[in-house]
Amino acid sequence: MASSFGSYAQRSIKPTAAIAAGALSATIFSRSSKQTQNDEIEDNSQQTVKTVVSSPLIGFNVLRNNSYSSWHTHSPFPLNRYNATTTLCEAASSNPAEKTPYKPSDPAEPVADASNNEDKTTKPKGGMWGEEDDGLFHGLFPRRQLWRPHLEYPLWHADWDGRQPLPVESDDKDESARLTAQRDRQIRKNGVTKHIILIRHGQYDETYKEDEKRLLTPLGREQAAMTGKRLGQLIRGVNEEFGPCKVKVVRVSNLARAKETADIIFDNMDLDNFDGDMVERADPDPLLNEGRPCHHIPGGKARPSVVERTDEHHPRIEEAFNKYFHRAPMPEIPPAAAESKKDSIIATASTDDSNEGVKEQKLVADPKHEFEVIVCHANVIRYFFCRALQLPPEAWLRLCTFNCSLTYFTIRPTGTVSCRMLGDIGHLPHEMCTFSMHTGFNW
């Protein structure tokens, strides 16, 4: 035990002595004047209280700050982070009613989910907000540049896209709940699932600063061609079981490497003889350009230039997320149209051959699923991933998306979001796997 936990014996109360004491003891210490990066919870002008809790049951100490975000545990046992008196210590507490209630400090105060009651003309809450003099977040970056969720993590904000239907009104509360549940079942049954496939551009020449010269390398063009063939198969379908997917549009950022990638992808989809719905090619969108979406953790103290870039790039990339990530509009689908999936997959068409009456089968995409393809950049994709799943965006740099990789989301009619693929490069052989100028995986 001594070798595993170092000075654990010196920091803990011996079990025999603790049992003899027979009660929970606590000692309050003032905050040291010297703050460290791991210990900085409040601004320098404020005092942080630490509490040492010892248990007479098993003998361990817990040193905690007066914040849910920083624990220093001197024990291998898991603890409840929400109260100074933990679950393991409750049996020994002489007055459980005096527990300190959970209250976060750094994040925004938890807000009741008023998704069904808020004004739909207002933007859903959540984002970066604050004043210049709010100080630093753990000594890393301005607190005003910290993303603050609408609801405390890990709660799910149902109206994240501002499209959550209001409850069905009725004078009777129970009747309103019944009608709302019935309406929601119809949405789940007849609504359209939106599929978003994010593709990072192919490998490009990074030796130039001018965007027009930062074009794909020969390997990058091969990566894009392979990606186009994979998407073409997805659009056309293979058979009844692996049917076609209704790709409505291919979008792209306004940077040269992304536009070149999108052009090569489109040319390799092999849609010249495709008799299904045409795939739209959207105009380049500068909102999707690469940039610094927000700060990243772990990371050191942000330089002034990084703070400025975050102020410049974050609003644009956040606007792009709000523009493209949302549930599909609720179409007018007769209930009978959604009864049989097979009927929506298989259609027949008369042939022009001399054999009259002979019909051929063709695959038809399921109308309850619509796909969009967005060709953009690694930082943007990683930020979209965190935002779509309502995870802290500051974790974006912990993810890695290779060139021409696919990151694939589904947004259900009810607003739930899931990620089916993250940085998938299964369509590329090993010799085509790159992350920028890094080749293979030994880096």
- pLDDT tens per residue, the chain (443 residues)? 444 434 434 444 444 444 444 444 434 334 344 333 333 333 333 333 444 444 444 444 444 444 333 333 333 334 333 333 333 333 444 444 444 443 444 443 334 444 444 444 444 468 998 787 789 999 999 999 999 999 999 999 999 999 999 999 988 888 999 999 998 899 999 999 999 999 999 999 999 999 999 999 999 999 999 999 999 999 999 888 899 999 999 999 999 999 999 999 999 998 877 777 889 999 999 999 999 999 999 999 999 999 999 999 999 999 999 999 999 987 664 544 444 444 444 444 444 554 554 445 678 889 999 999 999 999 999 999 999 999 999 999 999 999 999 999 999 999 999 999 999 999 999 999 999 999 999 99
Cis peptide upstream of residue 101 (ω within 30 degrees of 0): no
Output b/e per residue, 23-54; b: 16+ Cβ within 10 A: ebeeeeeebeeebeeebbbbeeeeebebbbbb
